[in-house]
Structure 1
């Protein structure tokens, strides 16, 4: 990854998300997780130039075949790996989950998120009250989030004792990653996300902040832009 900010964000994203196996091999970070089915935990990330892309792809295919899993590549950053993306497509890998990565600074975010009339509860692990809150706002709690490396904060925004929004914040290498943001549909556009961001990023003390959002979710991207986030890079997955 030639751009230093892109490299730093991807390093922090790897460090703040759980996986059970991570192997550096032939220009890849190869990841596999029996406990979490998310693609980020079960995909190959190119971490440097691939001198022989065809051979490198075969390395990926062998790794996942040994684990009875579909070969999956996180083509990130997308603008630096057009050749790899074309080769994967030619081999029958389908593209999916286009994602925009956005970033901001802690100071800019706190300035853009004034105090709101919501109490925000922070747990250092996915405690029962947080898992219950995820379900209460219409989300689906993911298994094995207790394996997110510390330090992490699992945040619940509350109004009069009722959960109205949730999020997760995890820190590595001076970056705070924002994950799993969700607001109860009945409470949208009332400052819930801003309250969660202010509490979670304020807790972290990290100087930089990043998040990932579906590229076609224009509403969410616009909302994050109002909180000071700008585009960092994009990626998608290729699955055999």
Structure 2
């Protein structure tokens, strides 16, 4: 995969996920969110190769110390930041939450995801209908999703009026990010995820789609591969 594509995905991932503070400083993208405790909203992302990783890390540590937050670095793409990863490990940062980024072409997804018989409802905000559906399928609504900039769609798959799956789709710079996919346990492996992806890809104006899957979730990775997603790159967090 081209390095420019990797950067585009990372840029789109930042743009389609909520944060309250976003600063570019000394080769980093520094993120902090006062409402959402997710790592991706409260971690530093390297913008490119760091000529002096030790000094660069001190910048990150000062930023999070000022906000009384733990220092967390998203080492992404992992394949291009082996030196940074080594230096963080030597400074006592533990590796956590390994993730694989997967990508697909929109048209390929639409062909690979035929209609499955589920109706998919799309909301432009995390409205009560969607929040209720998240809880009914066994998920947990997250705060701050109302800060995701438009265009964004909150999707609910229903069967005979009953929610069976949910997801969120957000667009930036020609990419559509897929987030919060969750299927009710009794409806798994019955085409719910495919229906959500088809609806989200059909709604999105973007030509390419990406999502993030935990590295050890082989079932989900296999399922997304069957829909046409391929591996783009990997990352993990380093936590002080």
TM above 0.5:
yes
Q: In 2, distance between residues paired with 1:179 and 1:131? A: 14
SS at match of 1:198: helix
Per-residue CA deviations over 1:23-43 (Å, capped at 9, x if unaligned) read: 101100000001111100000
Q: In 1, distance between residues paired with 2:75 and 2:197? A: 28
- The answer to whether structure 1 residue 230 and structure 2 residue 202 are counterparts is no
Tell me what 2:55 maps to. 55
Tell me what 1:76 maps to. 76
What displacement does 1:48 show? Answer: 1.4
The TM-score with structure 2 as length reference comes to 0.99
Tell me what 1:45 maps to. 45
Q: In 2, distance between residues paired with 1:170 and 1:181? A: 13
Tell me what 1:32 maps to. 32
Tell me what 2:119 maps to. 119
Tell me what 1:110 maps to. 110
Q: In 1, distance between residues paired with 2:144 and 2:55? A: 33
After the TM superposition, which residues 110-149 of structure 1 pair with which residues of structure 2 at under 5 Å, given as runs?
110-149=110-149
What displacement does 1:49 show? Answer: 1.6
- The answer to whether structure 1 residue 64 and structure 2 residue 64 are counterparts is yes
Per-residue CA deviations over 1:177-236 (Å, capped at 9, x if unaligned) read: 000001001001111001101111100121000000000000000000000000000000
Shift >3 Å, 4+ stretches: none
The TM-score with structure 1 as length reference comes to 0.99
Q: In 2, distance between residues paired with 1:206 and 1:24? A: 26
Give the root-mean-square deviation of aligned CA atoms.
1.0
Per-residue CA deviations over 1:83-120 (Å, capped at 9, x if unaligned) read: 11111111111111100000000000000000120110
Q: In 1, distance between residues paired with 2:80 and 2:167? A: 30
Q: In 2, distance between residues paired with 1:207 and 1:221? A: 21
Q: In 2, distance between residues paired with 1:196 and 1:99? A: 21
Tell me what 1:154 maps to. 154
Per-residue CA deviations over 1:54-84 (Å, capped at 9, x if unaligned) read: 0000000000000000010000000111111
Unaligned runs of 5+ residues in structure 1 are none
Per-residue CA deviations over 1:154-175 (Å, capped at 9, x if unaligned) read: 0000000100000000000000
Unaligned runs of 5+ residues in structure 2 are none
